């Protein structure tokens, strides 16, 4: 297969590996999550490999798991995303900088300012991963006794998006004339006061930052629930929603792009990039052996805690070697819950087996040689399972270096991945248009 289609690649880098055993792998940097010199080398290696973006997930609380599991987790300490990405912007030139920011426990004005600042500091490389936070411990950190109900979180998120993007449009692109002779810094006719008053939010504006270089930072969504897919179809330009196999990927791809088409959006204006763990070996058997050893580094305490977190329900009191019981509806993220239940039913797994899978990594994985991994990625691209992937590395630095040094050249050889960046901004590299200002008809030349 070959043609004009091009893969887009993000790197999922917070935690630096999604795999619970990653920090224990031989040769790995145990404190990589919280090691700035290491993170600097990682992002520069990704930029060498022409990756589109460096993506930081985020949590607003220490993960709510039993202390016996928490003490084994390398995610317990990580940098705040904007602080880290601003620092990394100074040591890179092309790679996108995408951070998660919650619509549930933050204020739109804060979010708008932070991303506008990051976009200017980086020269137009910022991206906002819109999330609604499902974590009861996060609620307790922000003055609430319990988390906000699932669908309510998404309704607030939709209004939140309108406010943030409206704030980014506070100034026309050419508002800042900086006429030294006349002493006029900006044209007041090119300043818009938002005056938003909605069901959930009241924000006057304007934003006290010039319009972002990209117009708006890239809008990223990760939800796979019904509400999440609809929000993605309405707002997202990149979607990191999970798809555990090609058939699931095709269904997700068709669903979100179909919803976008139905509301008048160009389906090509949304890039679907499911997360994929990539483990590279000289042979398929070698790669599989790496995976088996990596999974063996996950303690059962971690596995059962991860399973409970994914389900939003505590199953540790049931027989570990029995089947998963009926799980009642909860306020947890719906997509992760349903995915785990489906996995248990499909493979007839016991609680112990399911905990091992969920506690290590139970999602999409490409485990093989550079050639077999490229084969699978090419198939996903040409059969409309995805527009690319948000790559997760099994351990660092080795897993990252293997992908950049071995898989990327194979993708380039096949003509399905760039050899040089197409532009200066994240939007340009993804082939996405710069949004017009909704309040002013001016544009940058």
Alpha-carbon distance 423 to 427, whole Å? Answer: 8
Question: Among candidates 390, 382, 408, which has minimal Cα distance to 5?
Answer: 382
Strands 238-239 and 218-221: parallel
Alpha-carbon distance 228 to 184, whole Å? Answer: 45
Question: Among candidates 41, 216, 207, which has minimal Cα distance to 109?
Answer: 207
Write down the pLDDT at residue 400.
98
Strands 271-272 and 238-239: parallel
Question: Among candidates 260, 218, 219, which has minimal Cα distance to 236?
Answer: 219
Tell me which of 434 and 136 has the higher pLDDT. 434
Strand spans (E) along 274-403:
275-280, 365-368, 388-392
**Alpha-carbon dihedral angle through residues 376, 272, 127, 401, given to the nearest 10 degrees:** 0
Q: Is 100 annotated as a binding residue?
A: yes
pLDDT for residue 205 is more than 80: yes
Model confidence at 137, pLDDT cuts 50, 70, 90, reads confident
**Following DSSP, what letter does each residue of 6-17 receive, concatenated?**
--EEEEE-SSS-
Q: Where do runs of H (alpha helix) occur along 190-245? A: 226-235
Question: Among candidates 243, 259, 224, which has minimal Cα distance to 364?
Answer: 243
Residues whose CB falls within 8 Å of the CB of residue 378, separated by 6 or more in sequence, listed in order: 1, 414, 416
Q: What is the pLDDT of residues 382-411, one digit of tens each?
A: 999 999 999 999 999 999 999 999 999 999
Q: Is 58 annotated as a binding residue?
A: yes
Q: Is 150 annotated as a binding residue?
A: yes
pLDDT for residue 177 is more than 90: yes
Q: What is the pLDDT of residues 247-273, one digit of tens each?
A: 999 999 999 999 999 999 999 999 999
Tell me which of 442 and 319 has the higher pLDDT. 319
pLDDT for residue 343 is more than 90: no
Question: Taking all residues of the chain, what is their mean pLDDT, rounded to a whole number?
Answer: 92
Residue 178, burial from CB neighbour count under 10 angstroms (0-12, 13-18, 19+)? exposed
**Cα angle vertex 51, ends 45, 55, to 5°?**
90
127: left (phi over 0), alpha (psi -120 to 50) or beta: beta
- The tokens for 12 are 């999922």
Write down the pLDDT at residue 38.
98
pLDDT for residue 445 is more than 50: no
Write down the pLDDT at residue 433.
96
Q: What is the pLDDT of residues 76-120, one digit of tens each?
A: 999 999 999 999 999 999 999 999 998 988 899 999 999 999 999
- Whole-number percent of the chain with pLDDT over 70: 96
Residue 65 near residue 334 (C-beta atoms within 8 A): no
| Cis omega (within 30 of 0) for bond into 285 | no
Distances 187 to 104, 169, 345 between C-alpha atoms, Å: 35, 15, 63
Based on its alpha-carbon atoms, the radius of gyration of the chain, rounded to whole angstroms, reads 22
Residue 154 near residue 227 (C-beta atoms within 8 A): yes
pTM above 0.75, yes or no: yes
């Amino acid at each position: 297969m070959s043609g004009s289609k091009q893969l887009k690649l993000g790197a999922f880098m917070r935690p630096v590996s999604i795999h619970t055993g990653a920090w224990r792998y031989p040769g790995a940097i145990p404190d990589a999550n919280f090691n700035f010199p290491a993170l600097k080398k990682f992002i520069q290696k990704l930029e060498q490999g022409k990756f589109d973006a460096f993506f930081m997930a985020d949590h607003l609380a220490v993960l709510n798991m039993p202390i016996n599991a928490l003490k084994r987790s390398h995610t317990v300490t990580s940098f705040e995303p904007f602080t880290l990405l601003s620092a990394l912007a100074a040591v890179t030139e092309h790679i996108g900088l995408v951070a998660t920011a919650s619509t549930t426990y933050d204020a739109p004005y804060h979010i708008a300012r932070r991303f506008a600042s990051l976009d200017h500091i980086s020269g137009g490389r910022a991206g906002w991963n819109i999330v609604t936070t499902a974590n009861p411990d996060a609620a307790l950190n922000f003055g609430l006794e319990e988390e906000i109900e699932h669908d309510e979180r998404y309704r607030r998120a939709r209004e939140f998006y309108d406010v943030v993007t409206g704030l980014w449009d506070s100034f026309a692109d050419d508002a800042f004339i900086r006429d030294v002779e006349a002493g006029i810094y900006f044209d007041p006719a090119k300043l818009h006061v938002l005056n938003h008053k909605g069901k959930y939010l009241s924000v006057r504006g304007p934003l006290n930052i010039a319009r972002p270089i990209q117009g708006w930072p890239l809008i990223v969504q990760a939800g796979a629930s019904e509400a999440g897919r609809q929000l993605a179809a309405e707002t997202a330009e990149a979607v990191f929603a999970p798809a555990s196999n090609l058939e699931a990927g095709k269904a997700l791809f068709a669903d979100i792009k179909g919803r976008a088409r139905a509301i008048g959006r160009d389906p090509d204006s949304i890039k679907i990039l499911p997360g994929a763990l990539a483990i590279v070996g000289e042979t398929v058997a070698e790669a599989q052996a790496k995976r088996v050893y990596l999974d063996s580094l996950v303690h059962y305490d971690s596995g059962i805690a991860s399973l409970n977190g994914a389900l939003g329900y505590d199953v540790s009191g049931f027989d570990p070697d029995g089947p998963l019981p009926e799980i009642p509806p909860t306020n947890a993220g719906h997509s992760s819950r349903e995915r785990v239940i489906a996995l248990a039913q499909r493979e007839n797994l016991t609680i112990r087996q399911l905990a091992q899978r969920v506690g290590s990594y139970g999602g999409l994985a490409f485990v093989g040689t550079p050639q077999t991994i490229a084969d699978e990625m090419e198939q996903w691209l040409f059969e409309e399972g995805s527009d690319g992937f948000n790559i997760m590395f099994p351990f660092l630095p080795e897993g990252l270096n293997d992908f950049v040094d071995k898989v990327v050249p194979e993708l380039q050889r096949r003509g399905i991945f760039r050899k040089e960046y197409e532009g200066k901004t994240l939007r340009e590299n993804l082939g996405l248009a710069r949004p017009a200002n909704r309040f002013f008809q001016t544009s940058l030349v």
